[in-house]
Structure formats: C-alpha cells, structure tokens
Amino acid sequence: MITRKGMLIDVSRCMACRACQVACKQWNQLPAEKTHFTGTYQNPPGLSAKTWTIVNFIEPEEGQMRWLFRKQQCLHCTEATCVSVCPSGAAKRREDGIVYFDQSICTGCKYCVESCPFHTPKFDPIGGTVKKCTFCLDRVLDGLEPACAKACSTGAIVFGEREQVVQVARQRQEILSKENPGEIPRIYGEKELDGLGVFYLLPERASLYGLPERPRMPIEKVVFKWAIGIIPGLAVLYGLWRYFGKERPSSEKQSEAIGGK
C-alpha cells in the first residue's frame, strides 16, 4: 500500500539558519541569485524558479525587535489547484501526495502561477517552464528524506509518513500549550484543502506568517462564474432578437434622404 508522505514545519523550533535553503539549492542544483539588501535578512527576496524554499523573516510589529520565521515552499495540497487547472497535464499529483510538474510536458502558460493560493509555482524565463519544490521526489523514491529535512539543524522540519508526522505535530502542540497556557498553536494544513502534504505548527495567527487564514481553491465557484457571465450575454441576445425580428421599413427611406451627399 502506498502511504501518504508528510512534512511538519514547526516554526517554533526554527532559528532561521537557512541550512534548508542551501541544502535545497545543492541537491536540486539550483543556481544562486543576484540580490541586494532590502532591509531584511530574508534573502533572496522570495520564491523563484531558482529558489524553491526560503525562510521568511517576518517582523510583525513596526519598530519592535521580534522575529517570526517561516520556511516557505510548495505545500503539496490534496486539493491541488495547480493540478486541477493545468491545461497540458504537466502538473501531477502522485498517490503518495507529492505534487510535481513534468518538465517535458509543461508549456509555460503560467496559469498555475496565477492560480496557486500560496503563490508557489514560479516561471523560469530561460527554460520556459514553471518550477517549484518537488518534495525531493528523486530522494523520496530512494527512501531518503528531502534535502531540507535532512539538513535541518533544530528538528523544525519533520518528514515521514503523514499520519505519524501529524502525531508529532499534536505532541508539540500539547507541549507548547503547556508552556504558554491559554494559547493553542494551530496545526495549519491538517484539514485545510483536504489536508496539505506540508503542514505548519503556528503559535500565532496564520496571516502573520503570510498564509491565508482559510485557504481555498480559486477554481471552486467556477460554474457560478460561467453562469453569471452567460446571463447578460443572453440578455443582449434577447435584445438583438427583439430588434432584428421587428419590421422596420422606415430605415431605408431615412438613409436615402441623408446619404449620397
């Protein structure tokens, strides 16, 4: 039986050493990016076709010295928007929950880039395709854990069978709520979008970490949108039927009177 793979990112243990970022670049042979200082230690500025994971440095309060860290990457959704919108069938979801883009099929239409609720896939103008984290599919197939999980120095990244990793998250949730009574950290992604492959343990509001509080597939109300578009179209069509269907002999005379000058 194929078991679902899962990864926990326990942000309470992350100290932003960025070993995961470096390991990802090394294993996937992704080149460095030319950047410049933008006033934060977060570097490069965001995900790109060459940077598949990045530690976000968040300063939630203006002027106060408090940092939140979140490792950003593809969350390998169960209800994966990229897979459902891909017009060429390049975006695929395996039975073990790994979502990957078949680079030989991708045409570079960028529809997934516009549609992902977490803004993960990025277009690579040189190769002409869209790229993102593959969950280190090549490593996982060989029984290894993804490069970022292997490199994590604090145990903030836990990889394994999803069921077991959820249990780890529950234990950590319990420990943290004992340390800080009254505050129960959220396991973000346990249920969201029918369960994310990569989920977070968040001691604070999800939106503070740059995540949507209630993530949704943008495609979900699409039938409704078709209907709302068709209705005024039909209204105009009805108007044309009324107009063209009527006898109107006067128009010929009118034109003769004014035309021909």
Partner 1 sequence: MEHIIWGIPVAFDLFLAGLGAGALLLAIAADLFGGRRYERITRTGAVIAPLPVIVGVILLVVDLGRPLRFWEFLFRRGPGFLMVNLGSVMSIGVWLLTIFVILSLVYAALVLFGWPFTWGKKVRQGVGMIGLVISLLVAVYTGVLLASTANPVWSNLFLPAVFVVSALATGIAAVIFVLAFTHIYGARANVDPSIPELEKINSRVIGLELLIVALFVLVRINSPSLIMILGSGYGLLWWVGIIGLGLVVPLIFGIKGRVRRPQTSAVVAALVLLGSFFLRYVILIGGQI
Give the footprint of partner 1 on this chain (CB under 8 A). 81, 84-90, 105-111, 113-117, 119, 123-125, 127-130, 218-219, 222, 224-226, 228-237, 239-241, 243-245, 248, 251-252, 254-256, 258-260
Least CB distance from residue 251 to partner 1, whole Å?
5
- Cβ(71)–Cβ(157) below 8 Å: yes
- Helix spans in the chain (H): 19-27, 81-85, 111-115, 137-141, 147-151, 162-179, 222-245, 250-258
Kindly tell me the sign of the dihedral angle through the C-alpha atoms of 135, 141, 143, 147: negative
132 versus 139: smaller Cβ distance to partner 1: 132
Least CB distance from residue 165 to partner 1, whole Å?
27
Distance from first CA to last CA of the chain, Å, rounded? 85
- Cβ(70)–Cβ(104) below 8 Å: no
66 versus 253: smaller Cβ distance to partner 1: 253
191 versus 225: smaller Cβ distance to partner 1: 225
Least CB distance from residue 221 to partner 1, whole Å?
8
Least CB distance from residue 249 to partner 1, whole Å?
9
175 versus 228: smaller Cβ distance to partner 1: 228
Q: Which residues partner with 241 through β-bridges? A: none
